[in-house]
Structure 1
């Protein structure tokens, strides 16, 4: 089995921190920060992906060049990445050595303005043609503000820069050195300036926290007052400056040849033209953005309401309440049609089309931790449950959440799909109920409760979807319900501690359960209420899983061991000591090293691979381990995250942060308090069970942990429910070079030459030897359908799995369905004996092929159902037309009298 899994996507969260931005080139892509990663939403193609790079800490701000070439992302401690946006490759890593709050590219993409503390740094952006030793070169540093700079904006020409600060003022800087230019300070606000914008080179908008919007206009000096400056300019011999002074409003040219009015103090001054108050219901302004070409100003308030204004008159166009919490960031696309708004409290991001008043995108992650995840039988869906008492369904293809069930009243602890079709999902919760949700009508069609109030901790559903079992905490019983009727069938008693895990055997009616009483018990729910067998685990049992064939069961214990039992004989086959493999990462308040710690040296979730040869396990650690069961070998260990904003990532603590009160890194106030306008009481409201926060209470880091791991039924990917969300790892389908029976004359040109001669079987085998995906796909599509049986007979069986995976991919991406199905039938028919004998080796390919065919079947069935009446009408119209044509060709029958009167011709 292959184990070249790589990070694919991050589900379960849509926005957590930072700002949201649209791309300026198309306006159809939205970027949002999720932890220390960046998530990209394609609003036209209805797809989402997580970019494959990580920052050291949570994303603080990001900006994209206007030509979609460069992406700059900076974390909370000032370390950033320069990324090629097209190829998703990291070009350069840099450190701003300070907290960065806002960044912006100049209109010509030649400079990057970065607000670092009280200063503004302007960097020369890379050109992209010549090789550079350092992609970012510091051009100039601007000072003058007395507090942190929190907003900035470039002029349309890129020659001037306006900045807003917490010191309640805005300042105008010049990028190039100009004669008689003086940095202008714009005052008049009573609170911090959260937004400042260059509408035109002669118009500036500044917006403060209290909703005060001031319009500033550049007023040119009268001609009579500027004569003295004209004489001075003429005496210096500067003809260009003389023209500008005499003309009053004419344009000067800088070294780059761009025309721009020089805002010199001798030529005029900034004057306040108007003052508007846009505050509504005493709400505070939290974010603002201006669409310059359309003159649209979007303002987000801390009560979850956004307002849209038309500038410069501040005409109110629209207001809408989109969230119950503050809006952290806002953005407008290049066409001015879509507004993006993000709220960090609920992890919510949405795109609103203000003209038609409709949602283009509305995504929300889990409010608190993600507890459990489960794949659908075809692998197309994944269900997640969290501490926010919600069950969400995500599409593994698009990456979007398309339905949310919120009927539970307590954290969801277990999930499972029902049956082979997967048309329903069952969930257990700490509220003592088991709920079944219909995935066709999207409703809660069955609710099963316990006789006495209890907390359910685990869940299992039989293969036929007839009965549902749930384990409780106190009393430690197992409850059995009928899914069809919802009636409680039985209560299985015997455990002496909370039931931690349940699993149904896939081959026969047998339940395996483990508990904190250090036992593993087997139950037959149809025959009796007593356990058939009881096995001693030696430590608290935490998780249990059956092998896909049902002949082996694995139990994860608190001691860090994985114990394996043979179901038929009842003997323990082997055990794997994984305490050292999963250990790693020291928490900030630990008094011992990570090597001596005991909190992260056990597995809390296990799952077998599709072929049953390996097992994947995860727990309260940053690692997920994959073992080969028979050899008891650790095949691979994955580190889920490198985000230092989470606790338990570093193996060693920084001794420089040790103080008399303890480790200063325990207080993680940088990520939360760094955002403007937030106080301690507002942040404490997000804590469960806290209505008002203690102003002196410390805020600690969330700890990295993996609560659930699940393998996809097709074996192509696996998922881990972590603190940051649901992480998906998929097989890397890059070119695999296999020099098996490879000769010197086997080249792509030689392969195509053999194919042109009609020897398709030999050419296809040679292409598989080379391993080039494009060449294999080209020959796959070019082989005639009538030659498929002959090609399949000459294909080595070692390549059957790869060809089946190719067929599954082609079915999902290309329309020639008949050719693909003929390929699959030929391979399965010719190699049926070998495939049957070694079914475990080909299980992942079978699952992928089944997933692709099932998806096509559903799409065609839906299409036919929608057009059923149209097809019926067309077929009936065709029959009527054929009948009418037939009647027009057949002569009408004559009466006998008329026939007798007709003369007969010899």
Structure 2
């Protein structure tokens, strides 16, 4: 079995904190999710997560106007510069302090950052130019200028259209105008007059006006006008100043949290703490729309380049919304779980993942697109376990609300609810392969409850355990039910026999989880002492065991006085699962590590680190005495990441001993990194882990990375030579294609692929060396997903499989990821054609109905008129060949 699993995508969370950014073409949206960045393609309905990560949560990100460079900054001011189209981090930099604002200039040559009360302007590092003869150079960050003058933290920065000036808004109730370079007759100007902190400030499209909004909902328009007392003598240049020419108020009781302005369309979007957002046209201040996203505050808002789409994010509820104001419709509406994930399940075809969480919600995630497509809200308490039927049409979930529910995955509805005679909180669930019997266990009762799926009736209660039931699983062949308990035993039940006997396997500690090998011959058990034991299911004899305490141990908590190696709570596996072929076992627990073991050799093959985010508890390994305050508590225990966005709102300033004014439920501890559930995909090509940060997917398949991966290069293989070959009167397409494969440049491959004539495809495929088959399959899969030339791509696939199909089939293990890419492309083409045909059928049916309605509604002539029209023609009418009349209009 291959074990080169790499991080593929992050699901289960769509927005954490920070600002949202649209790409220059407006088709994609960048959203910070913890210490990573997720990109949502709004036109293709797909998403992916950039492979690099910060050491803490991301607070600011921005793209250059050409969309090539992405700058992300975390809580400590550490920045990563990356080439966005290639998803490649190229430079790490630190600003030495926290960043409060970030903005690239419209020309892309500079960017400004706010560091507390200070502002810095930096030169943007150069990137390779698009010209074939362009120089490849890269300069690290170079400081251009320092600016000072504000008396409190800078909250927002924005540029003028010509990139000569920029505005800063601060918590000191003022906004200021700065010039990037020294300008003649220009001095930095202070715009004061607001009664609360200025949230945002922008230039108009003509740069003749400035708009500022403050936290109390006031909008001021500033213009460079003469002094009122000197209007008669306005010829003197010294009398002109930036003055308030218009004052408007939004009249909202809630605080203004964020705002965005689109200069070309003069549209202003303001968002408030009660979840309301409004769209205004300025300077007329006419309200176009006022809608509510949620009851929680809106943390950030962004507008795409054309001004058509608004992106809104709520940090408290983890919601992300893209709204088109012209059509008043949602382009994207995604939401995260409100609490930590507890269970995950793959669908049998490996296309979807089901997640359950402590918030009682069940979400269905599409793996290929990265979006959740349905949410079940019937459970009233935490979801504890989930299981799919073998056919994939039924999902079973258990919850602490005392119910086990069956869900129809075709119609997305709850069609059966199972309950016990007494109120119990179910902790685990299992379904037999035939989907006829469902069973559940509880921490409140020592019995196992069995129900009939068809009737919903309680069939039996299996007694025998002397402690709470922790795990249940049916063998894949359906013969036995395996249960584990805290009474240090595993019981193997013959549920479908008349005697319903059970066999007991004795362990040395409390049982946490069991897994059954796909061939139903072996059981793996994880216990509280960190041991993994393997039992033969046929002989009930223990075959082997692994001590995993040292492997899984890692990460100390914030209040722990021990190092990670001595922390007792992370030394056991809470979730284990077999691979599809049964050769490997995946195990995880309350730590940041996921361990992959070989079942035959009992060795640790690979260790995956779930997160390096220091904003989470449990990621550090050693004690740091410098982080301990004078009262003996860690400085990180001061809640600076709470629900309130401003630091002064998060600090608890109530007097000691006073109950009034103190929130007793305020959380002062950070979330702890842990893995609650793991599962292998039925195909064996990927596995997923539900962690504190979300749903992490690790895959063997190509994740779409556009890294430079040269193959068999020589001095003649250059982009210039490839373009020269295509420009010849009789191009050598095969040679150009092979050279492009050796360079592995995405744009060159697409150019050569689309340049091949339709009639030349069979000859080129027959002459292609077999060493390039994998690369051609991968290219075809990518092009079928992204290109509109459907027949052209299908001709490539058909010819390749007809010529090299036997060779690929004999080595299908080597071409597994490439064939999956082609399969995804073919499925996408099928869905596209099916959607188009259905739409055309509906339109044709609609047109036919309209024609029949029109014919029936037309007034038919009377009998005398009919005779006159058919026997004699009126003036201006002509007869056709059949003698019928037709009017000339």
Task: Give TM class, smaller chain.
Answer: 0.7 to 0.9
The match for 1:183 is 188
State the 1:660 CA deviation: 3.3
Residues 227-255 of structure 1 show CA distances to partners (whole Å, capped at 9, x for unaligned) of: 78xxxxxxxxxxxxxxxx7xxxxxxxxxx
Whole-Å Cα distance in 1 between the matches of residues 783 and 189 of structure 2?
62
Contact kept, 8 Å, 2:685 with 2:701, in 1: the verdict is no
Q: Does 1:370 align with 2:341?
A: yes
Candidates 318, 321, 324, aligned match of 2:295: 324
The match for 1:36 is 35
State the 1:197 CA deviation: 1.2
Contact kept, 8 Å, 1:610 with 1:844, in 2: the verdict is no
Candidates 670, 673, 676, aligned match of 1:701: 670
State the 1:345 CA deviation: 1.2
State the 1:147 CA deviation: 0.9
State the 1:168 CA deviation: 1.1
Q: 1:580 to 1:461 in 2, by over 3 A?
A: same
Whole-Å Cα distance in 2 between the matches of residues 279 and 736 of structure 1?
52
The match for 1:135 is 140
State the 1:694 CA deviation: 2.1
State the 1:178 CA deviation: 2.9
Contact kept, 8 Å, 1:378 with 1:850, in 2: the verdict is no
Residues 36-82 of structure 1 show CA distances to partners (whole Å, capped at 9, x for unaligned) of: 11111110111111111111111111111111121111111211111
Whole-Å Cα distance in 2 between the matches of residues 822 and 513 of structure 1?
52
Q: How does 1:82-481 map to 2 (within 5 A)?
A: 82-129=81-128, 134-199=139-204, 200-219=206-225, 266=238, 268-280=240-252, 282-420=253-391, 422-481=392-451
Q: Does 1:2 align with 2:7?
A: no
Q: 1:546 to 1:787 in 2, by over 3 A?
A: farther
The match for 1:237 is none
Residues 395-438 of structure 1 show CA distances to partners (whole Å, capped at 9, x for unaligned) of: 00000011100000001111122222x12221111111111222
The match for 1:532 is 502
The match for 1:720 is 689
Whole-Å Cα distance in 2 between the matches of residues 461 and 846 of structure 1?
32
Contact kept, 8 Å, 1:373 with 1:383, in 2: the verdict is yes
State the 1:474 CA deviation: 0.9
Whole-Å Cα distance in 1 between the matches of residues 331 and 653 of structure 2?
29
Which ranges of structure 2 fall in alignment gaps of 5 or more residues?
Answer: 129-134, 722-734, 847-889
Q: 1:840 to 1:454 in 2, by over 3 A?
A: farther
State the 1:500 CA deviation: 1.2
State the 1:91 CA deviation: 2.0
State the 1:667 CA deviation: 1.2
Q: 1:811 to 1:423 in 2, by over 3 A?
A: farther
Q: 1:293 to 1:847 in 2, by over 3 A?
A: closer
Contact kept, 8 Å, 1:810 with 1:820, in 2: the verdict is no
Q: 1:269 to 1:369 in 2, by over 3 A?
A: same
State the 1:5 CA deviation: 1.2
The match for 1:598 is 568
Candidates 554, 564, 582, aligned match of 2:524: 554
Normalised TM-score (structure 1): 0.80
Candidates 676, 693, 699, aligned match of 1:730: 699
Whole-Å Cα distance in 1 between the matches of residues 778 and 179 of structure 2?
59
Normalised TM-score (structure 2): 0.81
Contact kept, 8 Å, 1:805 with 1:849, in 2: the verdict is yes
Contact kept, 8 Å, 1:380 with 1:851, in 2: the verdict is no
Contact kept, 8 Å, 1:469 with 1:480, in 2: the verdict is yes
The match for 1:583 is 553
State the 1:672 CA deviation: 3.4
Residues 266-321 of structure 1 show CA distances to partners (whole Å, capped at 9, x for unaligned) of: 372011101111132x1210000101111011000001110001111221111001
849-858 or 31-40, which deviates more: 849-858
Whole-Å Cα distance in 1 between the matches of residues 197 and 419 of structure 2?
54
- Count of aligned residue pairs for this structure pair: 801
The match for 1:607 is 577
Candidates 533, 546, 551, aligned match of 1:563: 533
Contact kept, 8 Å, 1:205 with 1:216, in 2: the verdict is yes
Whole-Å Cα distance in 2 between the matches of residues 849 and 502 of structure 1?
38
Contact kept, 8 Å, 1:588 with 1:653, in 2: the verdict is no
SS at match of 2:172: coil
State the 1:663 CA deviation: 3.9
State the 1:654 CA deviation: 2.0
State the 1:676 CA deviation: 3.0
State the 1:669 CA deviation: 2.8
Whole-Å Cα distance in 1 between the matches of residues 100 and 380 of structure 2?
38
Contact kept, 8 Å, 2:106 with 2:163, in 1: the verdict is yes
State the 1:671 CA deviation: 3.1
SS at match of 2:641: helix
Q: 1:809 to 1:340 in 2, by over 3 A?
A: closer
Contact kept, 8 Å, 2:554 with 2:591, in 1: the verdict is yes
Whole-Å Cα distance in 2 between the matches of residues 143 and 74 of structure 1?
21
Whole-Å Cα distance in 1 between the matches of residues 280 and 419 of structure 2?
52
The match for 1:14 is 14
State the 1:784 CA deviation: 10
Residues 416-472 of structure 1 show CA distances to partners (whole Å, capped at 9, x for unaligned) of: 22222x122211111111112222211111111111111111111121222211111
State the 1:553 CA deviation: 1.3
Whole-Å Cα distance in 2 between the matches of residues 465 and 849 of structure 1?
33
Whole-Å Cα distance in 1 between the matches of residues 348 and 439 of structure 2?
19
State the 1:845 CA deviation: 10
Q: 1:3 to 1:299 in 2, by over 3 A?
A: same
Q: How does 1:7-86 map to 2 (within 5 A)?
A: 7-23=7-23, 25-86=24-85
Whole-Å Cα distance in 1 between the matches of residues 245 and 706 of structure 2?
63
Q: 1:488 to 1:514 in 2, by over 3 A?
A: same
State the 1:127 CA deviation: 2.7
State the 1:675 CA deviation: 2.7
Contact kept, 8 Å, 2:127 with 2:138, in 1: the verdict is no
Contact kept, 8 Å, 2:564 with 2:620, in 1: the verdict is no
Q: 1:16 to 1:623 in 2, by over 3 A?
A: same
Q: How does 1:799-810 map to 2 (within 5 A)?
A: none
The match for 1:639 is 609
Contact kept, 8 Å, 2:226 with 2:234, in 1: the verdict is no
Contact kept, 8 Å, 1:586 with 1:647, in 2: the verdict is yes
Whole-Å Cα distance in 2 between the matches of residues 58 and 515 of structure 1?
39
SS at match of 1:679: helix
Whole-Å Cα distance in 2 between the matches of residues 128 and 842 of structure 1?
35
State the 1:508 CA deviation: 3.0
Residues 305-344 of structure 1 show CA distances to partners (whole Å, capped at 9, x for unaligned) of: 1000111122111100111100000011111111111111
